[in-house]
A = this chain, B = another copy of it.
Amino acid sequence: MTITVIPVRIDGDIRSSDDLCSMIIRSLETNGVSLENGDILVVAQKAVSKAEGRIVDLAKIKPSRKAAKLGKKLRKDPRIVELIINEAKEIVIVKNGIIITETKHGFICANSGVDQSNLSQADSAVLLPVNPDASARKLRDCITKRRNKDIAVVITDTFGRPFREGQTNVAVGVSGIKPIKNYIGREDMFGKKLRVTEIAVVDEIASAAELVMGKSEGVPLALVRGYTYDRCKKASSKQLVRPKKTDLFRSSRR
């Protein structure tokens, strides 16, 4: 079945007092998009973080000694380093001027996801949502209720990855969709069992959405339509996080 990926522009900036659910519903209408059952709404992390007040005024941040030291070494604003450390469960590696951390959610990414782009306030930074799955659930519940459509919600951010150049969008929060499609035990077209194959479909959906969202054009939403996904009440982005113990590239480094 053909999939369509529809960009949805939001006019104006999102502020911490904004009702994101209402803004999204209004933006869908402004963009001439009617929700359908089975649609997947993809929302940029930054839109969610802004609405949830996860913007930090850097003037109010007093860097710790550790942050000051690391900031000096990496030529990074020590207040940003302070936020990166605060948002991290663990610093995974510091090298080539880059800080890779494990965030409190369990994601391995640069700078704990702390970012300074696309913010209307000067001298500020934005943090990942505290609980992106809860954010996704809240949006889904609200939209489902107000539009009476059965949809899924995926919150996405742009992460780098080892071994390959360039970043891609991945899912950091999900609701209503099973994050991983499991082919284990299924047969291929010649009746042979498939090798172990688990596809991170929500990451692929996030990547597909990035193609229409871009980075600088005020399109923090996309609708993915036509993909038949497995409904899941207990969906969580935690299912995408590989435990440290079984991760070949973390456990091997001890």
| Bound CA span A4–B211, Å | 11
Beta-carbon contact of A208 and B241 below 8 Å: no
Who on chain B is nearest to A98 by CB? Answer: B248
Beta-carbon contact of B211 and A227 below 8 Å: yes
Known: A2-B7, A3-B5, A215-B197. A162 touches B247 (CB 8 A): yes
Least CB distance from A171 to B in Å reads: 9
How many interface residues does chain A have, given as a range?
Answer: 35 or more
Q: Mark A170-203, 1 if CB is under 8 A from B, else 0.
A: 1000000001100100111110111101111101
Selected from B119, B163, B193, B249, the residue in CB contact (under 8 A) with A190 is: B119
Least CB distance from A221 to B in Å reads: 13
Who on chain B is nearest to A108 by CB? Answer: B163
Selected from B6, B96, B194, B251, the residue in CB contact (under 8 A) with A248 is: B96
Q: Does A100 contact B (CB under 8 A)?
A: yes
Q: Does A207 contact B (CB under 8 A)?
A: yes
- Which stretch in A20-28, A110-118, A145-153 binds the other chain? A110-118
Chain B residues contacting A194 (CB-CB under 8 Å) are 117, 215-216
Q: Mark A38-54, 1 if CB is under 8 A from B, else 0.
A: 00000000000000000
Number of copies: 2
Q: Does A90 contact B (CB under 8 A)?
A: no
Q: Does A204 contact B (CB under 8 A)?
A: yes
Beta-carbon contact of A166 and B179 below 8 Å: yes
| Bound CA span A4–B248, Å | 36
Beta-carbon contact of B3 and A167 below 8 Å: no
Beta-carbon contact of A248 and B217 below 8 Å: no
A-B contact pairs, 14 of them (CB 8 A): A1-B212, A5-B208, A116-B192, A117-B195, A119-B190, A162-B247, A163-B247, A164-B200, A164-B240, A166-B199, A167-B200, A168-B204, A203-B207, A208-B208
Given contact pairs A107-B163, A117-B195, enumerate 18 new A-B contacts (beta carbons under 8 Å): A3-B4, A3-B5, A3-B211, A98-B248, A100-B248, A117-B192, A119-B192, A163-B247, A164-B241, A165-B239, A167-B198, A167-B200, A168-B199, A168-B203, A183-B216, A194-B216, A201-B211, A205-B211
